[in-house]
Amino acid sequence: MYRLQIKTKTQETLLNPDDVAAGNVVRFRRSAKGTVVRSRRPAHPAIVSVATFTQAQLLRRSRASGGLSAGRKLERGPKATKHVYLFKGRVRCSICSRGMEGTPRQSRIYYRCAARNIAPGSPVLAEHPKNVYLAERLIVGPVNDWLSGLFDEDHRSETADLLAGTHSSTASDVRAEHARRRLSTAETHIRRLQDAIKAGANPVADQPGTRRADSGTSPA
């Protein structure tokens, strides 16, 4: 493990770009990689192998990287909120297909998709507006009418049959789901191996039984 001297700089950004009066927040940012100073010799014993360190770095950057599951990586994580959103986790942007976040504005609730949260370099940025808003009040009425129609006298039996059918999974459905999971796991493993090779790791040397002694270098 080498000793690093990393320079940082402070950066002030608006807390809410749509509301300048909300103030700003100060964050510490790392400087460019070219400004990092490293010791000539290892200063500490290695805790993990080079391959493990490289894989951990790739996993950290996987959210913004492309690949077979790029759409899922752009998905926002859950966030605690004090407001009640009737369609939380159910509204998606028609441009980028990401889940829209609830945003209270004055006394009304909106769902917003902000372009600044999209991974840099994504092709969808070329056609995505700065912000896409959807007022909750515009969809409450149509959704209520649709739900009422599903359970009226003319459609009640059909809806009950559909709901009952969703809970009865056949053996073929189970096998298909198992195959999809295995395929997804294989695709993820292949993508990680490809990224590790690009980063300089040797996947053959890192396999059990073929791992060779490290030459003394350790990940920074």
Q: What pLDDT is recorded for position 136?
A: 92
Q: What is the crossing angle of helices 50-61 and 171-198, to 10°?
A: 110
Asked whether the predicted pLDDT for residue 206 surpasses 70, the reply is no
> Can you tell me the mean pLDDT for 23-34?
74
Q: Residue 113, class by beta-carbon neighbours within 10 Å (0-12 exposed, 13-18 middle, 19+ buried)?
A: buried
Q: What pLDDT is recorded for position 121?
A: 81
Asked whether the predicted pLDDT for residue 202 surpasses 90, the reply is no
Q: What pLDDT is recorded for position 211?
A: 45
Asked whether the predicted pLDDT for residue 67 surpasses 70, the reply is no
CA-derived radius of gyration, the chain: 25
Q: How many CB atoms lie within 10 A of CB 93?
A: 20
Q: What pLDDT is recorded for position 210?
A: 42
Distance between CA atoms of residues 147 and 1, nearest Å: 61
Q: What pLDDT is recorded for position 166?
A: 63
Distance between CA atoms of residues 59 and 63, nearest Å: 8
* Least trusted range by pLDDT, from 51-60, 91-100, 203-212: 203-212
Most confident region among 59-68, 138-147, 163-172 by mean pLDDT: 138-147
Q: How many CA atoms lie within 13 A of 92 on its CB side?
A: 10
- Residue 121 to residues 63, 101, 118, 196, 199: CA-CA distances in angstroms? 13, 22, 9, 21, 20
Asked whether the predicted pLDDT for residue 55 surpasses 70, the reply is yes
The more confidently predicted of residues 35 and 108 is 108
Q: Which two tokens stand for residue 188?
A: 């993820």
The more confidently predicted of residues 1 and 144 is 144
Q: What is the pLDDT of residues 141-167, one digit of tens each?
A: 999 998 888 888 888 888 888 877 765
Q: Evaluate whether 61 touches 198 at the Cβ level (below 8 Å).
A: no
Q: What pLDDT is recorded for position 169?
A: 55
> Can you tell me the mean pLDDT for 27-54?
76
Q: Residue 54: what residue type?
A: T
Q: Which two tokens stand for residue 105?
A: 């504005």
Q: What is the pLDDT of residues 72-123, one digit of tens each?
A: 545 555 566 677 888 888 899 989 888 898 888 888 899 999 988 888 888 8
